[in-house]
Amino acid sequence: MKLFYSILIVMLTINVAKGQSNRVDKVVDSCITKRNFNGAVLIARNGKIDYIKYTGLANRHYNIPFSAKSRFQIFSVTKTFTAVLIMQLYQQGKINLDSTIAAYYPEYKGEAAHKVTVRNLLTYSSGRYLKEMDPKFIPEAYDQNLWPVDTFINRYCSEKLIDTPGTKFNYSNGDYILLGRIIEKIYKKPFDVILREKILMPLKMLNTNYLRHEDIVPDLDEGYRNKEGSVDSLIMPTNHYIDNHFSAGAMYSTAQDLLIFDQAIFSHTLLKKSTVDTMLTSYPKLGDVAFGFWVYPRKIGNTNTVFAERQGGGYGNESNWVHLIDKGVTLILLSNTETTDLNKMRLDVLNVYLNSKQVRN
C-alpha cells in the first residue's frame, strides 16, 4: 500500500510539473509570436531545471539558430561577478567595505579617491559626474578607441563629485570598473585571470569567460539593435570595443552556466551565508540596490515573493536574471535583439509558473 501511494504521488508530481511546463510554454510561445522574443528561457527551482527553451537566430547573417551551446554577451550581469569577487575579499578580511578607493588604488587621481568607499561603488552612489555614461562621450569611450583600463579611468571615471557619496543612486559602469581595478590591485593579477581562478574554474563554468574584441569565441551570439520594433528592422551595431566595459560588462555566458552561478551564490558555495546576507542587503533610499543585485519584495499574481534581480544589455544583447529568494526559483532570459520587453515577459512567465491561472497577453 505504501508503495502504491508513493507511485501515485510521483505520478501526480510528474503530471503537475508537465502541466506547469505546458502553461509556461504557451506564454513563451506567445512572446515569440506576438513580441518577437529571440533567445533563451530557463526556469529552475532549487537548481533543478523545470523549463528551458531556445528560439530564433544567434547569427542572422549565417542563419545560425540558438541552441544549448549558444553563448550570450551578458554585459552588466558581469557586475554581479565583480561584486562576488569583492565579497570574497571582504570575507577573507582583505578589503573593508567602508575604506576609500585610495586605500587600494593609490594611483587613482579623481576627487573620489579619499571620499568614496567600496560600499559606495557597489551601490552606485559614488556621487561622481558620470562622464562614462554621458551620451556625448559614449562613442569615444566605448566604440571608437581601445583604452588601457587606467587610461579609461583617468579620462572617464575621475571627474569631480556632484553629490555627497552614499546619498544618491546613479547607475554607472565606472563604479564597477573602479571595483575591478581594486580587485586587480589586491590580487596583483589581471581581472580575467582572477575571475577564472576564483569563480569560473571552481564552479566549472566552462561556457563563461571574459571577452575581448579580438577573441574568436565558438557559438557566441551577435547582437542586433532594433530600430522600429520589428524583426525586419534589426541591424548589427557599429564596431565597439567590449574590452572598455572591463569588470562592468565584458563577459559572455550561457543560461545553464548562469544557473550554476546563481546556485553558487544562493546555496552559499562561493560565499558564507553571512557574507551573502551582507551582499543581498538592499538600500531602500538608493532604489533597493544591493551588491550586484536589486533586492525587493514583489507580488506576482497571487504570490508574494522577494526578488534578487540583475539585468544587462548593450548593442542589441539583453539579459534578465531574477532569483526568488524565498521560493528558490530562478528565471533567466537571454536575448540578442531588442524586440521584447523582458521585464514584462519575466512577470508573465513567473505568473503562470507560480500561479495556476494563465496570463493574458
Confidence of residue 15 (pLDDT cuts 50, 70, 90): very low
What integer is the mean pLDDT of 162-179?
98
**What's the grid cell of residue 281?**
542587503
- Report d(CA 271, CA 246) in Å as an integer: 23
pLDDT at 240: 86
Sign of CA dihedral 360, 225, 245, 207: positive
pLDDT digits (tens, 9 = 90+) for 228-286: 656 665 776 667 899 999 999 999 999 999 999 999 999 999 999 999 999 999 999 99
pLDDT digits (tens, 9 = 90+) for 201-219: 999 999 999 999 999 999 9
- Residue 309: strand, helix, or coil: strand
Does residue 35 surpass a pLDDT of 50?
A: yes
Domains of the chain: 20-354 (3.40.710.10)
pLDDT at 227: 65
R_g over Cα of the chain: 21
**Pairing state between β 209-210 and 251-253:** antiparallel
State how far Cα 248 lies from the chain centre: 10
Does residue 44 surpass a pLDDT of 90?
A: yes
What integer is the mean pLDDT of 300-304?
95
Mean pLDDT of the chain: 92
DSSP conformation class of 338: S
pLDDT digits (tens, 9 = 90+) for 50-81: 999 999 999 988 899 999 999 999 999 999 99
Q: What is the largest CA-CA distance in the chain?
A: 75
State how far Cα 353 lies from the chain centre: 22
Q: Please tell me the pTM assigned to this model.
A: 0.92
- Report d(CA 258, CA 295) in Å as an integer: 18
- Taking alpha carbons only, the member of 268, 286, 253, 243 closest to residue 144 is 243
Q: Partners of 71 in the beta sheet? A: 220
Confidence of residue 16 (pLDDT cuts 50, 70, 90): very low
- Report d(CA 3, CA 270) in Å as an integer: 40
- Residue 150: strand, helix, or coil: helix
pLDDT at 235: 72
Burial class of residue 136 (count of CB atoms within 10 Å of its CB; 0-12, 13-18, 19+): exposed
